[in-house]
Amino acid sequence: MKKRVGIFVSGGGSNMRALVEDMDATHPAAPVVVVSNNENAGGITWAQEAGLATVVVDHRPYGRDRAAFEGAINEALLPYDLDLICLAGFMRVLTAGFVTPWRGRMLNIHPSLLPKYRGLHTHTRALEAGETEHGCTVHLVTPELDDGPILGQARVPVEEGDTPDTLAARVLVQEHKLYPAVLRRFTAGDSTPLML
Ligand code: GRF
């Protein structure tokens, strides 16, 4: 039986798309639902057009009550009976209350070579620090932000004249290779780090 995957997005969803497109008949997992906090997320439109189920839970009415927001997501997810969650550019911090029951079953992609540059603006910070290489990481999610066991990393060179945008674009190309490759291995039972 294929593992049932839910993918969480907030924006364009290019990583979600790379994951969905890789989950063909040979894959141990299948995409079951795409979840977003943002009804205008490009990723939601693409998922709907691809015939995938979607769930939108707007975080704004919940204000600072993250537990209530997360409770609403959990409730909306119940019918999908998920085995795994892939965070793919999901821009809300999830609390321990949500994350802990998914320990070992929730993945995230982060645009830096963790443990460097947790949090936001990773490309700007890498450039400001004079890094000569940068990249992305797929890791298991723990309650600590952008922490947890590393399942894979891909590296890119920082080039002369790079701006945060040019560097982000170079990293994103690698994200689209790394995340599907890691998900395929992980769902086949291999948690050893993949280094691209
Ligand atoms: C990616 O760089 C992802 O790592 C990050 O936000 C970006 C999302 O891009 N945290 P997309 O929505 O997958 O196109």
- Domain residues of the chain, as ranges? 3-189
Please choose from 124, 138, 145, 172 the residue to mutate so as to test ligand 1's pocket, defined by most ligand atoms within 8 A of CB. 172
Question: Quick one: which H or E segment has residue 175?
Answer: helix 164-187
Distance CA 63, CA 54 (A): 23
Centre of ligand 1 from the C-alpha of residue 44, in Å: 14
pLDDT of residue 85: 98
pLDDT of residue 177: 98
Distance CA 113, CA 81 (A): 32
In the set 59, 110, 123, 176, the catalytic residue is 110
Distance CA 120, CA 154 (A): 18
- Beta-strand ranges (E) seen in the chain are 3-9, 29-36, 53-56, 84-87, 106-110, 133-140, 150-157, 194-195
pLDDT of residue 173: 98
Q: Is the dihedral of CA 48, 95, 109, 122 positive or negative?
A: positive
Q: Which residues of the chain have pLDDT under 50?
A: none
Ligand 1: which residues within 6 Å by Cβ?
A: 9, 11-15, 43, 88-89, 109-111, 172, 175
pLDDT of residue 1: 92
Chain segment 115-157, per-residue pLDDT in tens: 999 999 999 999 999 999 999 999 999 999 889 999 999 999 9
Distance CA 127, CA 84 (A): 34
CATH class of 3-189: alpha beta
Which residue type is seen at 71?
G
pLDDT of residue 120: 95
Atom of ligand 1 nearest to the CA of 91: 10
The pTM score is 0.96
Please choose from 15, 46, 108, 134 the residue to mutate so as to test ligand 1's pocket, defined by most ligand atoms within 8 A of CB. 15
On whether the CB atoms of residues 132 and 155 are closer than 8 A, the answer is no
Centre of ligand 1 from the C-alpha of residue 135, in Å: 12
On whether the CB atoms of residues 150 and 114 are closer than 8 A, the answer is yes
Distance CA 31, CA 12 (A): 17
